[in-house]
Structure 1
Amino acid sequence: MSAVTGSDTVSPIADILADEHPSVSAVEHCLDRIAKRDHVVGAWAYLDRDLAIEQARARDGEQRRSPLHGIPVGIKDIIETGDQPTGYGSSLWAGWQPAQDAEVVRRLRRDGAVILGKTTTTEFATYRPTATRNPHGLDRTPGGSSSGSAAAVADGQVPLALGTQTAGSVLRPGSFCGVFTLKPTYGRWPFDGVLPVALTFDTVGVFARHPAWLGAVDESLSTDGAATPRTTVLPALRNLRVGILRPPWADRATPAAAALLDEFAENLQGVVADVRDVPVPDELDALDRAHTLIMAVEASASLTDRIARPHVERVSEQLHRFLNEGRTAAPSEVQRAREVLRDVRTFVGQVFADVDVLVTLAAPGEAPPIESGTGDPVFNKLASIAGCPAVGLPAGRGFGGLPLGIQIIAPHHADQGLVRIATCLTDRVGLAHRFEVHDEGGRP
């Protein structure tokens, strides 16, 4: 699969920086693309063209602060912004204006990024889909809950966008939309000013047009400017020991996705030091249900105050059922679920004594039809429970022509090494840098 470029994709950073007014040019390019395409994609919850241009002009008048200086970034609409409203994907909060930025937004601004606008999210980052559509097939979901961030980056409307992941809300939509993603080590990026759903798992993540940009975002968000972030060193690619996860939920993958994983593993032979299968114990199949229950329990506490009782009819029935499941869960059931989470973390810790990274699918297959929901996050839950960093790579296409993704998981705080490996593999194993999107919204 060769890299595809086109006149409608966001300019590479090198081209942007060569311009006389690089940030204004980049922002205008994004805004023009949005004007041309977003009436069919629907990736944005809020945009202020004048504010975006104003930020860009200010950045062009300053010395460069970081690799992100002047680069437009989309922000998922559960992440608070002091100059743009935050609606949490719910009509209950439409137009609400936070008093200040979330800490991740503050750090992006500190490093010179331009906050282009707010991208759509499912209702309170849970289940009810947005109107956003997958740029590779407008009848398909972009995934959730970070729907707008994935779709906007995939469609060339912005080069970078922040999302969040509680189950699979970064890696899965990244796979469906054919873009690169990073879910960092749990707690590595600050969560202050972000809507909590289930803080046992909640993590800010990022979508990008190239894996190297993932590292630039991690460099920005993992430090407050005073302390150096923790680092776990990974071997060079040629010395890397790779484990291919063989989980009991593998039967939920489509034949095309399963074949892609096998092909990816085969292509690693001779590129890395060792490739071996890593079977997941059958009893850890319980992680899917355990994660869902703990998420429901914690969401029932964290979201209750966000739902105004006089307007309860404006909250979806699906969200009501989910929160009620959490409120009424038996204590013994919750304890058993937490035991499963502990077992998952123990298993992952033991595996990393024998391999350096784990490889699995980023989603079970191609993006499902939009009416079917936002897709199954089961392949993402192991990394979400363990708190490990994971990158998603667009690695191929399914039988229907839509993107398929691979996920690489590393030990805690190996984020930079993981991005380096992802960047190397993008070139060495034939991964596509971009997936072309036709303006008509058809599949490539």
Structure 2
Amino acid sequence: MSNKNEDSVVLTDFLSKFQLKISDYQRPYIWNFTQFLKLYKDLIDYKTNQEDSTPLYYLGNIILVKNNNGEYDIIDGQQRITSLLMLANLLDQKEVFGCNKDLEITSTISKDNIKVNASYFRHYITGNLEKIKFENINITYIIAENQDQAFKFYTTLNTSGKRLNGLDIVKPFHLQAVDKEKQEEKARLFEEYQFSNSLLDNIIKISLRIRYWVGFPFRDFPRNHVDSWKEILPEEFANIEMQSGHDYKYATVVEEKGISITPDFTYQINQPLYKGENAIHYLIYWGQLWMKIEKKLKSEIFDKLDKLKGVEFHKEYYEMALLCYASKYGEKAIEDECFTEIAKVLFKVCFYTRLTKPCSKISIQKKEEENQLLKRILYAFDRNEIINYCSDFFDESTLKDSEKITTGRIQAFKDSFGYKNKNYKQPFFNQ
């Protein structure tokens, strides 16, 4: 990065120099009133305690990229910039806007959150509102040469004060690769699921683990610590070298006596992904399919599972198995009468390690590497293979000595989950 593309300036000069745009592919404005008010109070406290030798109030990095209209898309910093422009408006300091008097906010979520914060501010901050010295706010702006470079800066230099989740990292990269006329449509698809229930973020985490564990070779999955999370997500879901313009689905063709049967083409959970619409449609498809799975299994499994404690790693493993099954047999398989019974069988295998010894995320990963349940599901020719494997899995004669199940552990599992083996019942599923 050359010096001409990076500089440190005061906010008023920055807003006068750059006409800013918040693109549709950016996450919406999501600061709550607590965050908004903290920024205001910090700036007032800074002004009150400022002395001649006090350095300027440093707001952090702002990452920009110039678009074809001569405007500058904000890649990182929109939460802070939007909040400051709101404060300037609420405090009647509109001269701060510079060339951004007409900054457009298109996201419905952003508009709603802006209205809420402005309303709370007017309600709780009464009397003579103290002005902010915007000319004493210092920022460092970085102008990326293109969207891919901006995305790289975004994932490594994020300074918004809120940890990036998986969707925050993946979403902007793929939306900016979509044709301009489609960006708003695709952004609204993401917006529908992004903040109401974290659905797509969970799909990213589950599918990413599957892609690590069913690949050749089996790969250890790095948990989502800040550094590793930012490295593996772009590599798997947003690789800069991946081509755009493709939107592939896959199906298995079965032929008998010259007659071919081709199931519906769908997005496969472990398929290669291409930049832009392919990755976007993949995530939306699996998000919608997961909602159908949850609805189908709600009363039989998930309502009961929600009451259990200390099983979060088993639950993740179970979710992976269900998605692999849906990937193998398609959306119609979820509506089959046998789906609930197969889901119960998979449940027992995924929660099996709870019987033999205390479990951790590492022990579950090692057990999958050894047993390869997910690969067995994805590469099974028919569902009976999966059922037979799961049934044989609990044959005591095949267990290692270290895996023998003590009477106490059997009773504990029976009381909590249910375990169909030998002469006792399945209280988890029959209670």
TM-score, L = length of structure 2: 0.27
TM-score by length of 1: 0.26
Richer in strand (by share): 1
Structure holding more helix per residue: 2
Greater relative CO (CA pairs within 8 A, separation 6+): 1
